[in-house]
Amino acid sequence: MYDVDFDAEKLVAECVDSIRVVTDAPIENCHCALWAVMQILGPHLRSENFSSLEKSAENYQVNVETCHDRVALEQSASTLFDIFLEKQELSYSADQDDETICAALDGFCDIVNKTDPRIPMAVISKNNWEWMSQMLIVLQTDQNDSVREHLLSTLQVLMEKCGEPVKRTLVDTQLPISLVPLTQKSNGIQVGALRVLAILYSTEAEIPLEQLDYLNIDYFQRLYHHMTDYQKTDVLEMCTNFCGLLQRQNLDLSAVFEPIRENPYECANLGIVLIQEMNRKCTVRRLQFLHHVIELGETVLSKLFYENDLKVLAHVLARESINHSDKEIRQLCLTSLRLLLATKTVNSDDDIEYALANFDEN
């Protein structure tokens, strides 16, 4: 027999990993579970070692290099990488096991969703994003809609979990251009394709100008006309995010707004969703988009929105110009409110006058 060296941090990490393996719960829940057990045992097991364990458990940080999730995700990514290469070799063959890649992508996303975002970021960015590059090739070449839908879901998960670094990388690839025809299909895949495109353009990076040749007036005209083919909030997010990037780069906005000017009646669904989402949450890009819509003038507004909806919008802007915690958003709300009143499509009232008179510059 020999004595095992006591390493509180290592022991806590092993406990969290063990809970993760047994329960398949998100890693933060595993940490919470361990901490809860320590709190239960604490009054009964007072010792120097246990106090060290308690402190280590309280200050636990995932070791992104060695934890269970890192190993599991590396294995999952490696399996998928081999499948990506095989898919490319068999791209013109019927000898493909599409169920295997779909199941593997589901397993990969399950780990990503439940672990620390630094782990998938480390895995997919290795070797100059080689894993991601191979996945995009499969998305662009595979003809099985189920496979493509799973690939789109994986991209969505990675962007939502890892955030801006993944978006910045993807926006500078051919992915946005390859998504455009997928968003114009009518077999269901257009829903996931548009959602990925909308999330992708929530980046702060610049849009490569080549993409503007595809996301033109005809594209947005068709998008508004077929809005019921998508989740309506995805259409709004696509428009607001894309418009925000164009505005940041001082580029022409007519692709987004000219179809609204030409046929506002056909864009009425967009107007309804815009007010609903503004009432739920005001963001800078939504407010910038709204400002440009209001600038289209009284004739367009009266056809795009119902009168009562414009009243609701005015009160949302008045409320948020007073209550929102972000100064930029308060200022944008006030600016849009004043512009809306100037179109004479909405009459002021006591609540609106109160907002106009009590705007907080600080």
User: Average pLDDT over the chain, rounded to whole?
Assistant: 93
Burial of 6 (0-12, 13-18, 19+ CB in 10 A): exposed
pLDDT tens figures, 279-289: 999 999 999 99
Which percentage of the chain shows pLDDT scores above 90?
Answer: 85
Q: Is residue 359 predicted with pLDDT exceeding 90?
A: no
Res 260: pLDDT: 97
Share of the chain above pLDDT 70, in %: 97
Buried b (16+ CB within 10 A) or exposed e, 90-116: eeeeeebeeeebbebbebbbebbebbb
Nearest to 294 by CA among 278, 281, 280: 278
Residue 127 has pLDDT above 60, yes or no: yes
* Mean pLDDT of all residues in 139-165: 95
Q: Interhelix angle for 48-58 vs 8-23, to 10°?
A: 60
Whether residue 108 contacts residue 73, with contact meaning beta carbons closer than 8 Å, is answered with yes
Both tokens of 332, joined, read 């944008």
Instruction: Give the model confidence (pLDDT) of 51-90 as tens digits.
Output: 888 898 889 999 999 999 999 999 999 999 999 998 887 7
Per-residue pLDDT, 96: 62
Q: Is residue 122 scored above 70 in pLDDT? A: yes
More confident of the two residues 142 and 341:
341
What pLDDT was estimated at residue 48? 84
The pLDDT of residue 145 is above 70: yes
Six token digits for residue 95: 């000898």
Torsion sign across C-alpha atoms 61, 65, 71, 72: positive
The C-alpha angle with vertex 234 and arms to 135 and 216, in degrees rounded to 5, equals: 80
pLDDT band of residue 4 (cuts 50, 70, 90) is low
Looking at residue 5, the DSSP 8-state letter turns out to be P
Span 195-219, average pLDDT: 97
- Does residue 210 surpass a pLDDT of 70? yes
Question: Are 272 and 311 in contact, with CB atoms under 8 Å apart?
Answer: no
Q: Are residues 42 and 54 in contact, defined by beta-carbon separation less than 8 angstroms?
A: yes
Length, in residues, of the chain: 362
- CA distances from residue 184 to 105, 173, 178, 181, 267 in whole angstroms, order as listed: 24, 20, 11, 5, 17
Q: Taking residues 316-342, what's their average pLDDT?
A: 95
Query: What pLDDT score does 41 carry?
Result: 87
54-68, 77-91, 133-147, 339-353: segment of lowest average pLDDT: 77-91
